[in-house]
Every structure is written in structure tokens, then in C-alpha cells.
């Protein structure tokens, strides 16, 4: 049984890769739009960024119920088209000079809501395209593409912004979403099980019970929530640590952060082999244990006073980012594949929404918490607190029953 023979998945994969590339272009284009075109401050950049994630906190659990009630392909097509229209509208408002920070935030809240429903449907749709034994391999391919676009997207986005300006760079992203929506509409799939429509609260409760009462999903979910807390703290502190403590400029920062994408490509390439050789649970435990050493390497980078010490610090940062990205690459496909494998079709949307919304809610806490600790106690202290938390997650995962989790008929 070969993944490339699953023609519907190949179309889905192509659509996903296209929209992912556009997303990473947007990350840079929006920041430039706020600061350069709209004359915004760093605080404005923060508020604009937060507006994209607000729907995940407010609507996450509800999204899971609604996605389970509708055809997932329809949700994917509508939300891709909708996101393309929103970015085209932002470009138009910017060009005619009527766009403001407030209007941009409102439009990005709508964009975030569509992204929420798209994310939930996206994760729940893959089991309708490939047989369950191929799920981890399918997610490995999707994660490989995501890692490649994460590595190249910012560079392409920076070039586009310099060439045609931030508003028109967003228009390029709009085209990518529209193309993804058209291609997604052509995907053929197995119909999902019909969900019995009941009270909204009861259906949310069913999703929560499935995740937090399952023998293995409970441990995976709780450990991942805590991991996201310390991961978000780490990512918040690292950028400032690189720029201020180590003296990196923008090019050094971009090179270091891109290394995580390179590591992720390597990790996803080995993910299915690791799952087959070690078992799904043990392979995920291995990756969780790698995060703390990766951040330790970066925390040990020497402060820079000369060009030689700057190069040494850059090597520490690159190695740490490579290892961190490698761990994420190993874990990502296995984690998503296992979640989909053990969850019945009619609960897929609610399971995905439960995990994703709570993880994103934790990020809303962890990111400012990491910044506050860094401001009060210093970058290194904040990093070592994050290291301790990541190490705790790795130890907890490795000693839990989750290490025994497996997918039957797993094959390379």
C-alpha cells in the first residue's frame, strides 16, 4: 500500500503546501504592513498578532462540534476561499489608504476564525483520504512540506515585500488560499460518519470526555498542554535573547530560526522509521526528551563582543535550533497520526478542536509570561525556567503509560 497511489491525498497535499507557503509570507508581510505602512508600534504588532489567535480561545470547542456536523471538505473549501477574500480586501484597503490598525485587527479576527475551522477540518479530513495504517506516513509528508515552507517562506516573503510592498505580498497569499480552495474542491473522499445532532453543550462534553478519559490521549493531551506553556515561553524569550544578549542582527536571526525548519525536514523524513523501529509512544517520548538539551545549547551561547564570538554564538544558536526542529519533526506526524488513528470518525473534529484550542489558550498565557520573567529576572533565568519545564515534560512523558502506545499494522 503506497501513499503516492492515494490521488485524493496528493491533491490535498498540494493544496495544503500552497496555503502553508502563503501563510509564512503573510507572517512577515503583516509585520511590515503594521510598522511601515500604518506607522504602528511594537505594541500594535503584538495586538495584531494576538487578534489572529483570539478565535482559538473563544470558539475552539464550539468549532469542533460544528465541524463534526458538516462535510469537512466543504469547510476547507469555504474557509480557504474566505481567507483569500479577506487578504485581498486588506490589500485593497491599504492601497486606497483607508486601512487602520483597528480595521486590520477586526479583519484578522475573521481570518483567525476561518483558520480555526480550517485547522480543525484539516486534521479531521486526512482519515477520509487514506487508510488508517497510512496516517502517520501521510502526516509525515504534510509535516515535511510544512517544514520546507517554514524554512523558505520567510525568505520569499521578505523578498516579495521588498519587491512589491507588504499589501501586494498579502495579495499573493490571497491567491494561494484561493488556489488551495479550488484544488481542495476537486478532492474525492470517503464520507464521514453522520453525527447525531444534539445539544451543543452535550457534544462539547463528549469531545472533552473522549480526550481526557482515554487511556493514552489523556496523558498525551495533558503533557502537550504543559509543553506548549514552556514552548511558548521559550520562543518568546529566544528572539529577544538572540537580538539583545547575543547581538544578532536580522540576518543572523533569520538564519538561526531557519535552522529549525531544516531540522524539522530531517525529523519528518525519519519520523515513520522511528515510529516503526521504536514504537509510536517511545519515539514521541524520545522527541520530548530532546527539547530541553536543545534549549540548553542555545542558553550556553556566549555573549558577543567580537566577530569571532558572534560566529561562535551563531553556531550554538543554529545547533540548538536544528535539534529543536528535529525533535518537532520526529514527533509531529506520529502525534497527529496516533490521535486520528484511535479516534472514531464522528469525534474527529471535537478531538482536534479540544486539543488545539486548549494548546492555543496556553500559548496566550505562556508567551507573555516568558516575556515578563525575562524583563524581571533576565533572559537566561527565563530560559533556564523553560528548560526545567521542558525537561519535566520529557521525563513525565517517558515514564507514563503513553510510551506503550502503538498503531497496529504500522509499516514503513
Integer Cα distance of 308 and 304 in angstroms: 8
Which CATH architecture does the domain made up of 197-412 adopt?
Up-down Bundle (1.20)
Decide: pTM greater than 0.75: no
Which portions of the chain are predicted below pLDDT 50? 409-412
> For the packed helices 7-32 and 72-95, what is the interaxial angle rounded to 10 degrees?
30
DSSP 8-class letter at 97: T
Q: What is the pLDDT of residue 410?
A: 45
Q: What is the pLDDT of residue 151?
A: 65
Domains 1-186 and 197-412 share a fold: yes
Q: Where are the alpha helices (DSSP H) in 279-412?
A: 280-299, 307-342, 348-377, 379-399
Integer Cα distance of 142 and 137 in angstroms: 9
Q: What is the pLDDT of residue 155?
A: 63
Determine contact, residues 227/357, Cβ cutoff 8 Å.
no
Q: What is the pLDDT of residue 169?
A: 85
Phi, psi of 303 (to 5 degrees): -60, 145
What are the C-alpha distances in Å from 58 to residues 63, 209, 322, 349, 391?
Answer: 10, 20, 34, 16, 30
Per-domain residue ranges of the chain = 1-186, 197-412
Query: Residue 51's Cα: distance from chain center in Å?
Result: 16
Phi, psi of 2 (to 5 degrees): -115, 140
Q: What is the pLDDT of residue 253?
A: 72
Q: What is the pLDDT of residue 412?
A: 36
Terminal Cα-to-Cα distance of the chain (whole angstroms): 10
Q: What is the pLDDT of residue 65?
A: 78
Q: What is the pLDDT of residue 62?
A: 83
Q: What is the pLDDT of residue 111?
A: 93
Q: What is the pLDDT of residue 411?
A: 41
Q: What is the pLDDT of residue 285?
A: 93
Maximum distance among all Cα pairs of the chain, rounded to whole angstroms:
66
Could you please state the CATH topology (level 3) that the domain comprising 1-186 is classified under.
Growth Hormone; Chain: A; (1.20.1250)
Amino acid at each position: 500500500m503506497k501513499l503516492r497511489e492515494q490521488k485524493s491525498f496528493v491533491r490535498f497535499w498540494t493544496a495544503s503546501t500552497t496555503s502553508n507557503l502563503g501563510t509564512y509570507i503573510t507572517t512577515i508581510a503583516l509585520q511590515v504592513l503594521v510598522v511601515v505602512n500604518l506607522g504602528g508600534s511594537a505594541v500594535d504588532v503584538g495586538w495584531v498578532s494576538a487578534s489572529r489567535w483570539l478565535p482559538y480561545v473563544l470558539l475552539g470547542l464550539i468549532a469542533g462540534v460544528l465541524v463534526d456536523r458538516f462535510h469537512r471538505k466543504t469547510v476547507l473549501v469555504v474557509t480557504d476561499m474566505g481567507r483569500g477574500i479577506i487578504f485581498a480586501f486588506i490589500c485593497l484597503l491599504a492601497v486606497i489608504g483607508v486601512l487602520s490598525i483597528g480595521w486590520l485587527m477586526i479583519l484578522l479576527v475573521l481570518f483567525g476564525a476561518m483558520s480555526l475551522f480550517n485547522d480543525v477540518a484539516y486534521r479531521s479530513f486526512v482519515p477520509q483520504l487514506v487508510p488508517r495504517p497510512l496516517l502517520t506516513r501521510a502526516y509525515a509528508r504534510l509535516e515535511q512540506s510544512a517544514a520546507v515552507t517554514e524554512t523558505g517562506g520567510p525568505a520569499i516573503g521578505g523578498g516579495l515585500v521588498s519587491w512589491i510592498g507588504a499589501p501586494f505580498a498579502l495579495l499573493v497569499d490571497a491567491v494561494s488560499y484561493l488556489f488551495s480552495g479550488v484544488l481542495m474542491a476537486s478532492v474525492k473522499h470517503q464520507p464521514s460518519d453522520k453525527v447525531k445532532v444534539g445539544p451543543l453543550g452535550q457534544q462539547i462534553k463528549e469531545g472533552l470526555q473522549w480526550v481526557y478519559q482515554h487511556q493514552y490521549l489523556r496523558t498525551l493531551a495533558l503533557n502537550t498542554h504543559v509543553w506548549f506553556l514552556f514552548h511558548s515561553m521559550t520562543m518568546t524569550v529566544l528572539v529577544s535573547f538572540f537580538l539583545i544578549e547575543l547581538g544578532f542582527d536580522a540576518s543572523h536571526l533569520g538564519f538561526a530560526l531557519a535552522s529549525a525548519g531544516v531540522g524539522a525536514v530531517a525529523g519528518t523524513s525519519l519520523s515513520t522509521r522511528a515510529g516503526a523501529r521504536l514504537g509510536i509512544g517511545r519515539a514521541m517520548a524520545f522527541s520530548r526528551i530532546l527539547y530541553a538539551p536543545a534549549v540548553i545549547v542555545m542558553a550556553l551561547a556566549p555573549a558577543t563582543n567580537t566577530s569571532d564570538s558572534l560566529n561562535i554564538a551563531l553556531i550554538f544558536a543554529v545547533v540548538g535550533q536544528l535539534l529543536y526542529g528535529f525533535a518537532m519533526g520526529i514527533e509531529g506526524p506520529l502525534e497527529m497520526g496516533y490521535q486520528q488513528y484511535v479516534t472514531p470518525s464522528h469525534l474527529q473534529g471535537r478531538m482536534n478542536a479540544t486539543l488545539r484550542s486548549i494548546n492555543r489558550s496556553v500559548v496566550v498565557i505562556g508567551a507573555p509570561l516568558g516575556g515578563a520573567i525575562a524583563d524581571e529576572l533576565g533572559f537566561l533565568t527565563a530560559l533556564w525556567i523553560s528548560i526545567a519545564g521542558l525537561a519535566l515534560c520529557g521525563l513525565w512523558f517517558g515514564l507514563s503509560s503513553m510510551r506503550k502506545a502503538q498503531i497496529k499494522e504500522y509499516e514503513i
